[in-house]
Structure 1
């Protein structure tokens, strides 16, 4: 039975990225009412940043050439490493159990929130493959950063996530949905672009629905 891991990273409790993520999750869960579902709010319940003990675990995984994540616990030795592993283990279990990982995030200062990066760092080890897992990224951006726009080159949120999931985890299915110009709702300088934001949101919602329907068919 397929499982969904749903991550929220926005500092706002009523953010647009949360709204889009919930839209996907609601449709997926309606189609799989008995399937495993885990929602982790990385802003409300932050994952700690990695420390030196985590780096020791990472080094030992490399030394032993371990490629199976479920064997990583074998490298734990010192009390500090046990404490580090106590943080990693439940996060890694949730990730490995998921067939679909939904990442709902804003773009902050051209990149992903620190809360999301902290989660990524905790669950990532050398030569770790998640091939076969599907990643859905839904993102809200304050300005316009889509390909072909003047600021496209500084969009380091969805491009980073796509490149990382593909390049490190060997994931071939990474779908990205982004709503643009969210700041037009609050910034007077962008007020004349509110119609663009609204069109972008409508398109994002339609794409979320399409991806959710596709996930149901694939399952």
Structure 2
């Protein structure tokens, strides 16, 4: 059974428009897909969703770069980071909901990206697919479908006839 990893980068949960759009997109894909898929959601703002990547983990990373032995403390930090990568690498497809965050991405998403892109860890295969779902305030595109969110009916850029997840390009 194929799997989708949904990365929720919003701290607002039930009040999040980007999360509402991502759920709508996932439901649309599931309705149109020829088979069911396993869905796993990673809420980046949950406590302990991501391991700390401070001094010890940075030292562990530098030990990899320089070919040095890691201390037991560094090994534990590196293994915690690797578990996040393994979750990412195990998925067949990805959905990212990314809210507007001071004209950039939320810091928790940046931390997640930094954790999964470590030296020596293989990249995602070319068969992997993903799509970002973002929300930009009250911006509306006239030809897009309305979606019901916690704040009422909104316009979105998620196609209601989503039959597949868009490849990462």
| TM-score normalized by the length of structure 1 | 0.58
Say if 2:8 and 2:96, in contact at 8 Å, map to a contact too.
Answer: yes
Q: Distance in 2 between matches of 1:203 and 1:28?
A: 15
Pairwise CA distance, 1:37: 2.2
* Partner residue, 1:125: 118
Pairwise CA distance, 1:51: 1.2
* Partner residue, 1:153: none
Q: Residues 77 and 61 from structure 1, CA distance in 2 versus in 1: closer, same or farther, beyond 3 angstroms?
A: closer
* Partner residue, 1:204: 157
- Please state which structure has a larger fraction of its residues in strand: 2
* Partner residue, 1:3: 3
Say if 2:10 and 2:18, in contact at 8 Å, map to a contact too.
Answer: yes
Q: Does 1:137 align with 2:132?
A: yes
Q: Residues 137 and 115 from structure 1, CA distance in 2 versus in 1: closer, same or farther, beyond 3 angstroms?
A: same
Q: Does 1:53 align with 2:46?
A: no
- Please state which structure has a larger fraction of its residues in helix: 1
Q: Distance in 1 between matches of 2:156 and 2:44?
A: 26
Q: Residues 87 and 76 from structure 1, CA distance in 2 versus in 1: closer, same or farther, beyond 3 angstroms?
A: farther
Q: Does 1:89 align with 2:32?
A: no
RMSD over aligned Cα, in angstroms? 2.7
Q: Size of the alignment, in residue pairs?
A: 150
* Partner residue, 1:155: none
The residue matched to 1:27 in structure 2 has which SS?
helix
* Partner residue, 1:186: none
* Partner residue, 1:62: 65
Pairwise CA distance, 1:198: 6.6
Q: Which runs of 5+ in 2 are unaligned?
A: 145-153
- Residue by residue, what CA displacement relative to the aligned partner does 1:103-136 show, whole Å, maximum 9, x if unpaired? 1110211111111111111111136422412221
* Greater relative CO (CA pairs within 8 A, separation 6+): 2
Q: Residues 90 and 48 from structure 1, CA distance in 2 versus in 1: closer, same or farther, beyond 3 angstroms?
A: closer
After TM superposition, which residue ranges in structure 1, 4 or more long, deviate above 4 angstroms?
none
Q: Distance in 1 between matches of 2:64 and 2:39?
A: 29
